Amino acid sequence: MPKPPFILTRYLGKDLTIRWIIGESKNYPIRPISYELLELSLRFARALFPNARRIVCVSQLKLGYNRIEVIADRQQAECLHISEMVSTIPDVLINSDIHHQFWKYLPLRTSRTGFDLVFDHQLLLWRIPTAIANWLQNGGIVSIGDNTMTDDQRHLGIYKARVDRIKPGLALNDALIGFGIGCTSLPLSINDLGLITDEHDSNGWMTYNFAAFQGAKHLIPVRTIPYLSERSSNTRNLIASSDGIYCVNHFNGNSRLYQNHHEEKLKDLIAYIEYLLNY
C-alpha cells in the first residue's frame, strides 16, 4: 500500500475516559451490524488513546448483553449497564417509546478532573481530529457541528427556537460529545427534562447546551467528515482529505444503500484504517 497521507499521533494521557452508548428502543431494535461497528470503534479508539479508560455503556437492551460483554472484554473495555453508572434514572427516559439519545448524558461526567468522550457505537476514528486535540489541551466541550446545514438537516426537535435565539444556524451531531476540564455541569440539566416529543429532542437539547455554555467550545466541522455513498469514488482519497472521523449512522439499516455501503465501501474503509493504525 502507499505511504499514509499523514503522520499518526496518539494521546497517551491517563486522564481520559471514553464511553460508548449502545441500546435499543421499541421502534429501533438493535441490528447485527451494530455489534461489528461497536468493536471496530473500540479497536480504533484503543489504538489512538491506549491509556484511556474505556466503557461500553448499555441502556435498554432485551437481548445481546452477553455478546457486548464479550466484545468489551476482547477490546480491554468495561461493560456496564446504565443502572451501574447512575443512582437514579429520570422516569421520562425509562417510560418514553421515542428513540432518543439522552442516555449518553447519564452520567454527564465520570470524573470531574479529567476528560470524558462519549461516542455512538457507529463512530470510527482513525486519527485524532484537531478539535479533540485542542480540547484535550484546553478543556471545555467538543462535538461535531457547524452552521452549514439547512433547517431540515439540523434535527433540533423542540429546542430549535431556543438554539436560534443564542446561536442562529448552529447544528450539532451528538454522535460525539466531550466534556473536559471546566465543564462540570450544563445550562440545562437532564433531571429537568419535560416530555420527550421527538427523536431529535436529545440532539436539540445538547445543541442548546453547547450554544449556551460559557467555557471553551471546540467543533469538528461537518464538512471534514467523509460521506461514503454509492457515488463515492475513492475511499482513501476521502480519508486523506478528512480530519480522522467517520460516522456510519447517517444510513438507514433497512435500505439498499446501507447494505451496499457496508458490503463494499465500509470494508474498504476498515481495511485502509487498519493499515494506517498499524503503519
DSSP labels, 111-171: -SSSEEEEEETTEEESS--HHHHHHHHH-SEEEEEES-S-HHHH--GGGHHHHHHHSTT-E
CA distance 158 to 278: 44
Beta bridge partners of 142: 178, 218
**Residue 141 β-bridge partners:** 179, 217
Share of the chain above pLDDT 70, in %: 71
Three-class SS of residue 176? strand
What pLDDT, on a 0 to 100 scale, did the predictor assign at position 44? 86
The highest-level CATH class for domain 16-226 is alpha beta
Q: Are 144 and 173 in contact (CB under 8 A)?
A: yes
Q: Give the pLDDT confidence score for residue 29 in this predicted structure.
A: 67
What is the predicted pLDDT for the residue at 58?
A: 86
pLDDT for position 254: 33
The CA distance from 2 to 162, in Å, is: 48
Domain ranges of the chain: 16-226
**What is the structure's pLDDT at 244?**
59
R_g of the chain, CA atoms, integer Å: 18
Q: Are 19 and 55 in contact (CB under 8 A)?
A: yes
Report CA-CA distances (Å) from 209 to 63, 120, 206: 33, 19, 5
Provide the CA 156 distance to its chain's centre, in angstroms: 17
Quote the pLDDT of residue 258: 44
Does 107 sit behind a cis peptide bond, omega within 30 degrees of 0 on the bond before it?
yes
- Residue 6: the pLDDT is 56
Could you give the CA distance from residue 43 to residue 203 in angstroms, rounded to a whole number?
Answer: 26
Let me know: does 143 contact 178? Beta carbons within 8 Å: yes
Rounded Cα distance, 185 and 254, in Å: 38
Task: Mark the ranges of the chain whose per-residue pLDDT is less than 50.
Answer: 228-233, 248-260
Q: Which residues, listed in sequence order, are joined to residue 25 by a DSSP beta bridge? A: 28
Count CB atoms within 10 A of the CB of residue 33.
16
CA distances 68 to 34, 141, 261, Å, are: 10, 28, 24
Q: Specify the pLDDT at position 5.
A: 55
